[in-house]
Structure 1
Amino acid sequence: MMEGLTAIAGRIAPAIANHLWQSTGFAILMWLLTLLLRKDRAQARHLLWLAASVKFLFPFSLLVWLGTLSGSLRSSALPAGTAFTATLSAVGQPFAEGQQNSAVVYAPVQRSHSGSLMPVLALVWVLGATTVVVIWALRCRKAARTLRNACLSDSGIEVEALRRLETAMGSRRRIPLLRSIEMSEPCIVGIIRPVLLWPELLTERLSHENVEAIVAHELMHVRCRDNLTAAIHMAVEAVFWFHPMVWWIGSRMLEERERACDEAAVQQTSRPEIYAESLLTACRFCVESPVACISGITGADLKARILRIMSDQVDRKMSIHRKIALVATAIACVGAPLAFGMFGMAPDSTVLAQSAVPNLPKFDVASIKPHKDDPSGNMMMGVRYTPDGVTMSGMSLDMLIRGAFGLSEDRILGAPGWTKSERFDIDAKVDAADVAALGKLKMEERGAMLLPLLEDRFGLKYHHETKELQVYTLVVAKGGPKMAESKPVTGDAKDMPKLMMRMSGEGVSLEGGEVSMESLAHTISMQLGATVVDKTGLTGHYDLALHWVPEQGMRMGPKGPEGGPEPGGGSSTSPTGPSLVTAIQEQLGLKLEAKKEPVDVIVIDQVSQPSPN
């Protein structure tokens, strides 16, 4: 049960983190626009804050998904592997999944305990959201009690002012007026069928002009549907109660909605001094409404409101430059995610190249030698990351290229046959000054460090193209994973390869400890020759043993020239046993799911035998 919850949390955690990051950035953008429009009408700023609030409910990934529906419009003029698109992806989705594609064997990393923390965080979120909802429910209950004790009124100066202003504003629906003996502020209650709740004792303190000014204010709340927008933001606050910016947005929305109604009421009554007097009197004797979705006359900074009313600091017409800025921002906010989906710039389609990470350390010295086969006929390959470099054994150039770009075999096109059959031993080290920086790199960044080496010693030249290919996702099968979590490795063993593959006449064996799901997904992709993306949500490290027999057409080792079997490298008999896909499900409790989608591929233009050491 706990493993299943951890898996689910692991899947959604990166998406939630990206959504919060994007929503925060969007809110900051809206704040900057409100500063630009600080001398314009408050209604415009209120709409901007409302957009910032609603953004928390709608992730940009929905627009990206809509963009992917137009995948046929993708253009090779904007390949996913460029530094520009990689930078945009990193900034827009810094917590994206599935970006740790590295070499065949992975160096050990510190064991993660975030999986066990996720259920705790989920419980904290539920408790916080429940607390917020309960507090609001109690406040709404108090307001409902006041409403039940109020009486419907068909006469009086308040009703006369209400009907007169409704006619002047062209309102089609008549709003009922309820009189209350409590000294709560005049307010609009309800979203679908709003009513005006009026404190009866307030009338004796106001003149006819004061009453009309306050009624005009409340009618503007109805016209602008302020109770509905406030209720929407209350839902945002309940879901994202832990985010400080959500509460800040709520205070800004309250302030701007009251200012917007002030401006409209002054324009309706044409007597700013009368309106200011009415506002001061109501705020002096009345109690503020308990919840934001009940729109009253109080709220925000009263002193600032009065100064703004009396000084008439509002521009009646928005300038053309500000209109252009608003339209451009709206187009960019909607168009950019659509473009990401349309042109295939989502994180799963990116290629990690040296150009996208220009500040990686470079190998200072590198030894490249032909690999000598094991006399026993067994073929072993391995990679060991050391503090100052990397040591590789039995690696084909095809594998090295895939490791440099973090891609599966089907996404490397145009490579000559010898790149799959000839294998090499490589020992590469960085300068002593770069050892500290090397230790901070991620696995995919260490793989990308191979690219300059391949360009220099193998004369590698390439370009990007787009092609529709089959992609696999690695998920947890029904019944849950069958792997045991690893114990932390210490001492000299921590630098040993964590995945070891052995190929013989009986099939293929893959064994390892402290193996992450990203490492496993990449190793499986090498055997399938297709992209495998980890979607298990398992964040721990595991001990595993996997044995399978390659299916017909699937190689048991590096291919020979022109894609044929390596001489002497395959089995002369036909061993029996489970296929790779079956073994993954039966022995590991995981499952592969296939789909087709357009992806970025690397086309090899030129490559040659390595230059001498």
Structure 2
Amino acid sequence: MLRLYPASFRKRYEGEAMLLIRDRFRDETGFVRRARLWWDLVVDALGGLPSAYRNSYGATEDLLSLGAASGPSFHVLVDEPLGQGSIFVAGMTSLMVLLLVAFELGRPIAYQSIYGANGQMSPVEAVVQRLNRGSAGDSGGSDFQQSSRAARAGGPGSQTPASGGSGSEAAMLMTSQSDKPAKMSFEVASIRVSKPGTFTPPNFALDGGDSYAPFADPGGQFLADFPLSVYIQFAYQLPASPERTEAMLARLPKWVTTDHFEIRAKADGHPTKDQMRLMLQSLLADRFGLVAHFETQETPVLALLLDKPGKTGPNLRSHAEGPPCNDHPDGPTPHSAMKADGVFPPDCGSFMLVPAANHEMMIGSRDATMKTIADTLPSVGRLGRPLVDETGLAGRFDFTMHWEREAASASQAWAEAPAELQGPTFQEALKDQLGLKLKATRAPVDFLVVDHVERPSEN
């Protein structure tokens, strides 16, 4: 626009404008306030240039009066008319600026997705996601270092890495990169508050394993009678770690752990256990209004390591070296703890904890990953910290381990055992029987944070 005015006016106006911009930018801070400043300067230039030239700097002989002096008017210079080239350059420059702005606003940007993998999201979508997350019911602030792993439990896009087991379909609910991941739901479901003093046994174990064993295939039936906290742990395949469980429950109302709810649901066909988890996530979101996300905290942990590099203990072996799994359990009740052939546990895909002789406890599993083993051991060893697998062992394993029950009561499993203990401590059993050891360290750990939950809606 200055090109429409004489060179003497342009020079003086540009100098004063630059001084004004410098002074204003020195006083204004923040993106919004500086953006408003630019807007004011543009509006001032568009509306004030003709008036400033006419009233302050303009020479009468330089102008052709085209309007009343009382109102803003626009004057075309006689001695310095705009050439076609200048108009073309100005037009093309404006068009390029508009195209660049439109491209940047619409271009997907790389971000660390809530599922730990790189995703694609436009700035507008990112803002909408943040607003939607903030409008969800809030059960308290977070002290954790958020890793943007927010998700609506059971809703589209609400996927989470499952703890325990590899290739889990439950993990799909927090790892899918598709814009509209499939939502799995029960065909029919009913929820009612359990009567005091009554208990309905589940038709399969709500544990972290990926197999229904030692129960029979439920054929799409889901039957359980537990507090909501148990359903959340199963639906999101949370590690059996007291520390992670306590961190989640600390934010929740008391009824989540005290009130029992009987859930009866039916799905078509024969869904896997992981598919049952996905359907339960949807049910909890629909009926309990559950909204949850994962956060990562750098926290003290115990690293599970090989005591001797490349060598495991006598009670930890590759599953391929052990007896095959029984793919067809006999019925809806667990098998006996020990088969006639001495195999413990009798079925694959689950963990079994039983009392042994001399006040000892015995735990075992077959066809389990080391990550699943590391996720489960804190629940029986009372380690005081989450356990992280750093053995480097891939594949699937069978193991059994026994230790003296009182040893698990020590505040720290890596501390020396009291003199009165006769059997192996938990740490001694890990080393001598499994060839593993514990090392105190720090590592990032995922915690489930419940943002909102409410009592179930009517059936």
What TM-score results when the alignment is normalised by the length of structure 2?
Answer: 0.42
Name which structure has the greater RCO, CA cutoff 8 Å, separation 6+: 1
TM-score, length-scaled by structure 1: 0.33
Structure showing the higher helix proportion among its residues? 1
